[in-house]
Amino acid sequence: MDALKFFVDLFLNLDTVLAEWVGMYGPWVYAMLFFIIFCETGLVVMAVLPGDSLLFTAGALAAISGANGAPVLSIWLLLSLLFAAAVLGDNTNFLIGHFFGQRILDSGRFSRVIKPQYIDDTNAFFAKHGGKTISLARFFPFIRTFAPFMAGIGQMDWKRFTFFNVTGGAAWVSLFVGAGYFFGNIPIIKHNLEYLVIGIIVVSVAPSAYHAIRSRAKKPAVDTTAADPAE
């Protein structure tokens, strides 16, 4: 039950959770944020972790001054560490896909987490955007976690992958952390930050949800009037 409450708070009360972490763990909070972003981008079984909202909220905390007058979090250290986490995460995911991906899919051991719909959405993204998928997928939950994994399975050239990985990681981290830093402490936003975080989650997930619903709607209905093959 405590674990469930933790994950609920991590999504719905992220601003409060991060502020508590800063108070309890001090500088170790940087390592915790690094670990979360690394896992969300680097391990397909961790695709449910919050990415966009975590970056935004961390940026908002970096704009707040503590009791000693210094920022609660260093914006430059945040940008550097979270960029490194995003790039290393994608690279790890790519290597897992490259060496073990097909065996993982064929085994079916992670079918509850690695759902066929996520694989189909990611493959459709690749079909539409090609190599740019690695960069663009950063802004779509689930797809950003599965894209490097599928690129590894598809034997994408590593140098080409690295280019899109680095450019996409830089854009994603700087945009969301920067947005949190510059806008997260405007009074009306600061006093309603939890609602904004929920809004970011909803907006982020909406395209994937829309695509999933649309794909299901397009599936042909099963013809129940077909003749029995045994007849």
Please state the three-class secondary structure of the chain as a single string.
CHHHHHHHHHHHCHHHHHHHHHHHHCCHHHHHHHHHHHHHHHCHHHCCCCCHHHHHHHHHHHCCECCCCCECCCHHHHHHHHHHHHHHHHHHHHHHHHHHHHHHHHHCCCCCCCCHHHHHHHHHHHHHHHHHHHHHHHHCCCHHHHHHHHHHHCCCCHHHHHHHHHHHHHHHHHHHHHHHHHHCCCHHHHCCHHHHHHHHHHHHHHHHHHHHHHHHHHCCCCCCCCCCCCC
221: in domain: no
The number of domains in the chain is 1
Q: Which two tokens stand for residue 114?
A: 């690695």
What pLDDT does 88 receive? 97
130: in domain: yes
Mean pLDDT of 66-95: 90
**Cα angle value 66/174/210 (rounded, 5°):** 115
pTM comes to: 0.80
227: in domain: no
Q: Which two tokens stand for residue 68?
A: 């000693």
The answer to whether the beta carbons of residues 62 and 75 sit under 8 Å apart is: yes
Nearest partner of 47 among 148, 176, 144, 130, judged by Cα? 144
pLDDT of 159-202, one tens digit each? 999 999 999 999 999 999 999 898 877 777 666 666 666 667 66
229: in domain: no
68: in domain: yes
Q: Which two tokens stand for residue 25?
A: 């763990």
188: in domain: yes
pLDDT at 149 over 60: yes
Q: Which domain holds residue 91?
A: 2-214
Which has the higher per-residue pLDDT, 182 or 211? 182
Beta bridge partners of 65: 71
pLDDT of 3-30, one tens digit each? 556 656 666 677 788 888 888 988 899 9
149: in domain: yes
224: in domain: no
What is the rounded distance in angstroms from the CA atom of residue 72 to the CA atom of residue 61?
A: 6
Nearest partner of 11 among 195, 162, 186, judged by Cα? 195
* Residue 94 neighbours by CB under 8 Å, 6+ apart: 148, 149, 151, 152, 156, 158, 161, 165
What is the rounded distance in angstroms from the CA atom of residue 97 to the CA atom of residue 20?
A: 36
Most confident of 74-88, 121-135, 191-205: 74-88
